[in-house]
Structure 1
Amino acid sequence: SSRICVWRMDGHSVSLEEIEEYHIMVSQMFASENQGYEHYNRYARAKGFSVRLDDKEYVKGTREVKARRFCCSKEGHRLEKYFQATDQKREPRALTRCGCKAMLEIQHDAGRGRWFVKKFVDVHNHPLADPDQSAFLRSHRRMNDAHKADAVEYGLGGLRTFQIMNVAEKQHGGEHCISRMRRNEAELDAICSQSVPFTRIDACLLEINAARIYTPKIFKMVRDCIRRSCAWVIQEQTTVNDLVRYEVVLKDGAEGGSRRLFSVECSFDGSLMNGAFCPCRKMECEAIPCAHIFAVLVFVRAATIPPCCVSKRWTMEAKAAFVSVRNANTHVWSEEMSRYRELRNIASIALFKVSKSGERSQ
């Protein structure tokens, strides 16, 4: 079917469905601040992003909240002091913030006792998570009171913790009815698509470039090779036919194994390296450049890792060629079952709230 679009002043197209969705969101009214958060968090899960609490505004002279803002978890940037720290004992967490401006701000109308939408921004500056990855984003991983009450009941019934979690997965999302391997795959995909490995402020250009090319696990291996390249130096450079041979030797006093000299052969297309071979054969065995090749790249002042040294299977784009179908064959969820699951979860939350009241409900 054809898609009708309108054009914004900045030249980007907006579909009529998006306009309708925007008007539905800004016309919402909430009974409480928490209800507003839950509504925005459900919207975020459907869209593929995570939500966190942001600023709040108080009634002057009191501690009564009159306005509250919920923002995309990628709002803002990590403080510069964390990039400069050199005495960290743990591996810094991956970078997740990129200055996204998406947010929902609600304000309390004291006259009507309701919260209304004051401001809504639905434009993100980052890729959104796929539907089967949303469950692994931070604001969607928590358990509400109704889920906790169910877990207590299962525990009293004799189920062990891992069994309770398996039951919860099957109850609260068809996309979770997958094998353990597929679940781990989906979680790793979510991490890769929604974060960038941490690099210190003094990191070299090759390390920064590698963080944006490789998956987090492979990046750590590549980063180690880049850092070990500092122990090697180019002693001699010769040209034989179309190949440039670099004699890479270990610096005095540096640790690099028993062998102290490698002849790295490279070919160039202009200033771009289009081939590299090292006798250590790390590139052939593990499909990542060795420290000796990185020493050559540093010597030629390369700012990026050339394509000839990047194996696509270790990159962020590798999954695009192999779309995963993660639903297990033993759990086929029809549309009716999906609606039933959603309604049951909403009913569980409502019943738990009613149970806190001493009044009986009809």
Structure 2
Amino acid sequence: MNVRYLDLDDRSREARVKLDYGCGRWKVSCFVKSHNHDLTPPQFAHLEYRNNKLIAYFKSQFSEPVMITSLEVYERSASCYFTRNIFKEIRNEFQRAGALNIKLLSTTLDKVEFSVTALGDPAKDRRMEVDRGKNLFSCSCKLFESRDISCSHVFCAMKFENILEFPDLLIYKRWTKNAKNEFISTEMPVNDDIERVLKFRVGALASNCNKLCDIACKDLADFDEVQSELVNLVIRLQSRKQGKSTPNVNVEGINNPFVVKSKGAPSKRSSWRKKRACSN
């Protein structure tokens, strides 16, 4: 495989900004002037942020990233748990773990202490402690405590201990795919273009419906309740548009609407017409 394809994520080009690990700063690796464009007008800026959140949510839930590190067992496990953006950060830690050396310092019945150093730079020493009984990991770099993301030293220790499953205590719920509990608002400025408003509303409804489906499909009682409510809601909205009232229906099926008879006495008009008589 060509080297330029190794960093592909979901078969699309990533940002041309790379982290220089030597100085710890982000640097532009490639600048293409023709790719620049005007900024989004302020009145539409709030559209492209909510829309970006919807796109990120969709990718996290329904797409699978390309595995690119040597620690594929950890990488694949992390891709199942974490959102796409957080997964990319954790994947960077996987890559750093490949350039680390680990040394056993002490061991007891349940606890093990390691020294982890960077390849070619033994001065950058980190101390790792693993509690085998409780499956706890503690590192002197304190990355997990500060950002709730496991560091490369933890993954190096996991590899040394031959731990294949991603420990639950290293999975911070805030960064998981199912952590999104709030519903997306549909409030829009009145002066927005109607086509953009409709597209946003479709996206917002789709996102909330996807969450509803994910919750309801796992339990039969929840499924029956949601199915019944959705059927009634669809019928009610359709009836509102047609100016009619429709009774509730159950989940067994959609019945024909009741026929409402018109009010008042029936018409006395008939096809027979009285012949005209002579006035004389």
Task: Using structure 2 for the length normalisation, give the TM-score.
Answer: 0.51
- The offset of 1:296, in angstroms, is 0.1
8 Å contact kept, 1:267–1:275: yes
For the residues of structure 1 that align with 2:70 and 2:59, how far apart are their CA atoms?
24
Structure 1: tracts of 5 or more residues without a match: 1-84, 97-159, 167-177, 341-362
Letter of the structure 2 residue corresponding to residue 278 of structure 1: C
- The offset of 1:95, in angstroms, is 7.2
| 2:153 is equivalent to residue 285 of structure 1 | no
Kindly report the root-mean-square deviation, in angstroms, between the aligned alpha carbons of the 2 structures.
3.7
Q: 1:276 to 1:325 in 2, by over 3 A?
A: same
8 Å contact kept, 1:229–1:295: yes
For the residues of structure 2 that align with 1:247 and 1:307, how far apart are their CA atoms?
24
Q: 1:328 to 1:91 in 2, by over 3 A?
A: farther
8 Å contact kept, 1:249–1:260: yes
8 Å contact kept, 2:114–2:128: yes
Which one scores higher on RCO, CA 8 angstroms, separation ≥ 6? Answer: 1
- The offset of 1:219, in angstroms, is 1.2
Deviations 1:35-75 (A, max 9, x none): xxxxxxxxxxxxxxxxxxxxxxxxxxxxxxxxxxxxxxxxx
Q: How does 1:1-362 map to 2 (within 5 A)?
A: 85-88=1-4, 91-94=7-10, 179-200=47-68, 203-239=71-107, 242-251=110-119, 253=120, 259-269=123-133, 274-319=135-180, 322-328=181-187, 330=189
- The offset of 1:90, in angstroms, is 7.3
Deviations 1:90-140 (A, max 9, x none): 7424279xxxxxxxxxxxxxxxxxxxxxxxxxxxxxxxxxxxxxxxxxxxx
Q: 1:312 to 1:86 in 2, by over 3 A?
A: farther
For the residues of structure 2 that align with 1:323 and 1:259, how far apart are their CA atoms?
46
Task: Using structure 1 for the length normalisation, give the TM-score.
Answer: 0.40
8 Å contact kept, 1:199–1:211: no
SS of the residue corresponding to residue 141 of structure 2 reads coil
Identity of aligned residues (%): 22
Whose strand fraction is larger, Structure 1's or Structure 2's? Answer: 1
Letter of the structure 1 residue corresponding to residue 162 of structure 2: R
- The offset of 1:184, in angstroms, is 2.1
8 Å contact kept, 1:232–1:248: yes
| Structure number with larger C-alpha Rg | 2
Deviations 1:133-192 (A, max 9, x none): xxxxxxxxxxxxxxxxxxxxxxxxxxx9967x96xxxxxxxxxxx755322222211111
8 Å contact kept, 1:206–1:302: no
Paired position in structure 2 for 1:149 = none
What is the aligned residue count?
A: 171
8 Å contact kept, 1:179–1:328: no
- The offset of 1:318, in angstroms, is 1.4
